[in-house]
């Protein structure tokens, strides 16, 4: 008997579970290694701008990976890109953990971070694309829920990684922490090789690289908004905030890392429950461009208010902690809406390439935010980073006004011909 349109084969669900588990493992190691590198080199006396430069290739190669990775996934299948991501992450951790920490140069660490950026975006693109392939096409509400859970769990585990990285640096040191992370990635790699059968999705050997550049207007506008949304977070979160915690407030590595970890875990929890939270606020149904516009407009208020509070001599710990918690809630809702919209807008036969293009824009926003986080903090301190964040969010809100309204079925009509 023919299968109902809303059903999916059990093999697809099993493979999706394997992809998700591998993505979680990579997410933990990515967050932990990032925190290890940041605090270790800050401890050595590196300036905020030089610390930011360590992650420059991480973001640049994230852009390239999302561009090329979506095309490779379309041609070779998501299993290949997932295994490639895990393998590259293993190499990156080995390069950092198998040499004496005292011999690490800036250029060498930048290369390892380039590899980490490649690994992270290959695994993320594989996991996010898999959702579109597994969730029934006639159940958009289910797609919204699954995307929210995947995105939220990823960010919660990234927060766990932040904490483990900071704690590991304190308890067992830089090299040992990295080698333990390598064991986790190797375990995920072996599990996928042993248990995943076939490819997730249908590889298309005829997929053209030029198709990576979407002709879907909704995808292009959402990608542009994503650049500014993520630049608004990373312009103060990546370098400025942790350095401020340690250097200005006198927080220890594990305390600063632990707080950022708890913030990220909470941020992930909000993302995972975004559908329910937005319904409670009266935003019933699936989100659309108007939802993204309103959330971004509200979000802009929080970095601006924190900057004003710091200038008015409000206790900086209170101002930043309270402000950051409020920023995290609204940012998480906005990010969850974006993550749903890209899959809602994506062309069914080109989902990996549309998602790759979108996350290329995401990486571009992180790159801009990372560089500016170090540069602005070194120039004018955390307040400059916060004002830049507010400006970026307002830009994202303005761009979101051009997104389609509720009926995603009509999105195809917005494609550029």
Which of the four pLDDT bands, split at 50, 70 and 90, describes residue 132? low
In terms of phi and psi (left: phi > 0; alpha: psi -120 to 50; beta: otherwise), the region of 227 is: alpha
The predicted structure's pLDDT at residue 69: 74
Whether 200 shows a pLDDT value over 80: the answer reads: no
Cα 380 to Cα 111, 161, 308, 314: the distances in Å are 29, 30, 14, 18
Give the Cα separation of 242 and 257 in Å (integer). Answer: 8
Half-sphere exposure of 318 (CA within 13 A, CB side): 6
Cα→Cα distances 78→103, 114, 131, 171, Å: 37, 21, 11, 37
Task: Give the side-chain half-sphere CA count within 13 A for 155.
Answer: 26
Tokens of 305: 């208010």
pLDDT the model gives residue 25: 93
Alpha-helical regions (H) of 273-315: 274-280, 289-299, 301-311
Lowest mean pLDDT among 85-94, 123-132, 230-239: 123-132
pLDDT at 137: 62
Domain boundaries, the chain: 10-414
What is the DSSP secondary structure assignment for residue 4, as one 8-state letter? P
Express the helix, strand and coil content of the chain in percent, nearest 5 each.
Answer: 80, 0, 20
Mean pLDDT, all residues of the chain: 82
Q: Lowest mean pLDDT: which of 10-14, 218-222, 361-365, 413-417? A: 413-417
Q: Quick one: pLDDT at residue 5?
A: 43
What is the reported pLDDT for 3? 44
Q: How far apart are CA 107 and CA 194, in angstroms?
A: 36
Q: What is the pLDDT of residue 242?
A: 87
Q: What number of residues does the chain have?
A: 417
Average pLDDT (217-244) is 90
Round to whole Å and give the CA distance between 149 and 261.
18
Dihedral sign, Cα of residue 315, residue 318, residue 324, residue 326: negative
- Confidence band (pLDDT; 50, 70, 90) for 369? very high
pLDDT above 90 for 414:
no
Task: Flag the least confident range among 14-18, 135-139, 331-335.
Answer: 135-139
Quick check: 227 pLDDT over 90? yes
Q: How far apart are CA 211 and CA 356, in angstroms?
A: 11
* pLDDT over 70 (residue 133): no
Residue in this structure with the two tokens 């949304």, named with its chain if needed: 229
Residues 370/56, Cβ–Cβ less than 8 Å: yes
Distance from C-alpha of 125 to C-alpha of 79, rounded to nearest angstrom: 11
Across residues 90-107, what is the average pLDDT?
A: 89
Name residues whose C-beta falls within 8 Å of residue 223's C-beta, 6 or more positions apart in sequence: 214, 357, 358, 360, 361
Of 165, 229, 207, nearest in space to 359 by CA: 229
Q: Name the band, by pLDDT with cuts 50, 70 and 90, for residue 129.
A: confident
- Residue 413 pLDDT: 34
The confidence score (pLDDT) of residue 28 equals 94
Per-residue pLDDT tens for 107-122? 899 999 999 989 988 8
Q: What are phi and psi of 248, to 5 degrees?
A: -95, -40
- What share of the chain has pLDDT > 90, as a percent? 32
**CATH second-level architecture of 10-414?**
Up-down Bundle (1.20)
Report the pLDDT value the prediction gives residue 325, as an integer from 0 to 100: 93
pLDDT band of 406, cuts 50, 70, 90: low
319-328: pLDDT as tens digits: 999 999 999 9
- Residue 94: pLDDT band by 50, 70, 90 thresholds? very high
pLDDT band at 400 (very low <50, low <70, confident <90, very high): very high
30 vs 12: which has the higher pLDDT: 30
What pLDDT shows up at residue 144? 66
pLDDT of residue 103: 84
């Amino acid at each position: 008997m023919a299968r109902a349109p809303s059903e999916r084969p059990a093999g697809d669900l099993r493979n999706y579970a394997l992809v998700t588990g591998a993505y979680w493992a990579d997410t933990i190691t990515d967050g932990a290694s990032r925190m290890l590198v940041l605090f270790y080199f800050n401890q050595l006396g590196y300036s905020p701008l030089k610390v930011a430069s360590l992650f420059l290739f991480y973001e640049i190669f994230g852009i390239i990976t999302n561009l090329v990775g979506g095309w490779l996934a379309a041609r070779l299948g998501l299993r290949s890109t997932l295994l490639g991501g895990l393998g590259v992450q293993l190499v990156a951790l080995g390069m950092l953990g198998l040499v004496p920490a005292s011999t690490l140069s800036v250029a060498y660490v930048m290369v390892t971070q380039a590899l980490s950026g490649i690994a992270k975006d290959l695994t993320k693109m594989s996991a996010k694309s898999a959702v579109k392939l597994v969730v029934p096409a006639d159940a958009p509400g289910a797609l919204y829920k699954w995307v929210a859970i995947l995105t939220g769990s990823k960010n919660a585990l990234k927060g766990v990684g932040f904490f483990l990285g900071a704690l590991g640096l304190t308890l067992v040191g830089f090299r040992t922490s990295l080698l333990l992370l390598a064991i986790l990635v190797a375990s995920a790699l072996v599990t996928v090789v042993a248990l995943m059968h076939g490819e997730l999705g249908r590889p298309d050997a005829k997929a053209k690289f030029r198709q990576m550049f979407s002709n879907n207007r909704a995808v292009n506008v959402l990608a542009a908004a994503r650049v500014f949304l993520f630049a608004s977070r990373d312009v103060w979160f990546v370098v400025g905030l942790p350095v401020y915690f340690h250097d200005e407030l006198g927080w220890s590595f594990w305390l600063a890392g632990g707080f950022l970890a708890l913030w990220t875990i909470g941020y992930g929890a909000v993302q995972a429950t975004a559908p329910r939270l937005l319904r409670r606020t009266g935003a019933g149904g699936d989100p659309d461009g108007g939802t993204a516009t309103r959330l971004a407009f509200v979000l802009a208020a929080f970095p601006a208010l924190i900057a004003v509070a710091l200038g008015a001599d409000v206790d900086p710990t209170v101002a930043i902690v309270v402000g950051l918690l409020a920023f995290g809630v609204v940012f998480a809702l906005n990010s969850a809406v974006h993550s749903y919209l890209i899959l809602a807008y994506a062309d069914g036969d080109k989902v990996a390439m549309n998602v790759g293009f979108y996350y290329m824009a995401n990486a571009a926003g992180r790159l801009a935010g990372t560089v500016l986080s170090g540069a602005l903090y070194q120039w004018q301190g955390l307040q400059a980073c916060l004002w830049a964040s507010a400006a970026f969010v307002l830009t994202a809100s303005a761009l979101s006004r051009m997104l389609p309204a509720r009926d995603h079925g009509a999105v195809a009509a917005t494609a550029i011909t």
